[in-house]
Amino acid sequence: MGKYLIGIDVGTTGTKAMILDKKGQIYGKGYGEYPCNYPSPNWVEQDVDLLVEETFKACKQAVTSSGLDPKEIEAVGFSCQRATFTLVDNNNQAIDNIFYGWQDNRGAEILEEAMALVDPDTFFRSTGMPMAPTFTFIKLLWLIKKRPELYEKAKYVAMMPEYIQYCFGADDFYCEVTNACTSGYLNPNTMDWADNIIDAFGFDKTKFPKLVKPVDIVGKVTPTTAEKTGLAVGTLLVAGSGDQQCAAIGAGVIEDGYASLTLGTAGLLVVGTKKSGLGRCSGGHGNFIGIIGIIQS
């Protein structure tokens, strides 16, 4: 068993990688950068290949700067931007090489149509989310209406973490439940897909990857990925969680009533509570449940 872990945070404009021992001491760091693209008003996209390449680079920088034997690194954990997704074809490649960014608001133009299909109160009770253009569901509905040929080609609707994990060596696409909370079609009370929402919007449930928990192992680093990242072949890949959940835990939101506030590209409030119910979609461990209130303007 290795002595070290590497965390990879795939953010909105850059990826950070950090190697630590199991007491939290830092041994290596890396960074890769990529832009957001704005092809039309309210559209925000990212180049999938570039983002993956820069993520590999950040990982390799961290490994190299640490001076450690890569075989001593036991596992990789991921923290990624949420609600961002791509469509994956039958060859497990991103269709048109596009990530549809969380801050993409193209779905605003069909929001009233969505509300006619699902009452906003029903939507909130079913998903813990408000009906807003930020979340995956409305962008996906837009693609079905405006670019149905792309949706028909899709084997999976893959949120960013599962695509990144697949590129690192995951044996399939796996959707981590606490990240899926921002999809708008996960039921936070059952931690399973919200079938009533999926049916109402006409989504094909077979296109959604299998759900897994944050601690689940989703694969191992492959020989090809090892060359690109500096990691050892066979290093474990752990699903991890959404970036805001990870940030909250890092800030100490691990007890009832504790909270953290992030003010960046978006503003998010994360509150820890022992009470179950609506909003527990950000997940947790044991009796801890994270609640996220979106305060983005």
Task: Render pLDDT for 218-251 as a digit per residue (tens, 0 to 9).
Answer: 999 999 999 999 999 999 999 999 888 888 888 8
In tens, the pLDDT along 40-82 reads: 999 999 999 999 999 999 999 999 999 999 999 999 999 999 9
DSSP string, 17-79: EEEEETT--EEEEEEEE---B-SSTT--EEEHHHHHHHHHHHHHHHHHHHT--GGGEEEEEEE
Residue 132, amino acid: A
Measuring CA to CA, which residue among 166, 237, 235 is closest to residue 2? 235
Residue 66, amino acid: S
Give dist(CA 53, CA 192) in Å, integer.
Answer: 32
Q: What is the dihedral of CA 42, 48, 49, 53, to 10 degrees?
A: 100
- What pTM does this model have? 0.89
In tens, the pLDDT along 96-128 reads: 999 999 999 999 999 999 999 999 999 999 999
**pLDDT value for 276:** 62
pLDDT of 290 > 60? The answer is no
**pLDDT value for 21:** 95
Please provide the average confidence, as pLDDT, over all residues in the chain.
90
Q: Which helix (H) or strand (E) holds 99?
A: strand 98-100
Question: Which residue has 């996209």 as its token pair?
Answer: 45
Give dist(CA 262, CA 250) in Å, integer.
Answer: 12
Q: Are 64 and 17 in contact (CB under 8 A)?
A: no
Give dist(CA 272, CA 111) in Å, integer.
Answer: 30
In tens, the pLDDT along 187-225 reads: 988 999 999 999 999 999 999 999 999 999 999 999 999
Measuring CA to CA, which residue among 87, 80, 85 is closest to residue 104? 85
Give dist(CA 82, CA 12) in Å, integer.
Answer: 9
Measuring CA to CA, which residue among 210, 228, 249 is closest to residue 54? 228
Give dist(CA 48, CA 163) in Å, integer.
Answer: 9
In the DSSP assignment, the letter for residue 261 is: E
- Bridge partners (DSSP) of residue 217 are 238
pLDDT of 139 > 60? The answer is yes
- Bridge partners (DSSP) of residue 289 are 273
**pLDDT value for 210:** 96
How many helices (H) and strands (E) in the chain? 10, 17
Instruction: Count CB neighbours of 38 within 10 A.
Output: 12
- The three-state DSSP-derived secondary structure of 219-246 is EECCHHHHHHHCCCCCCEEEEEEEHHHH
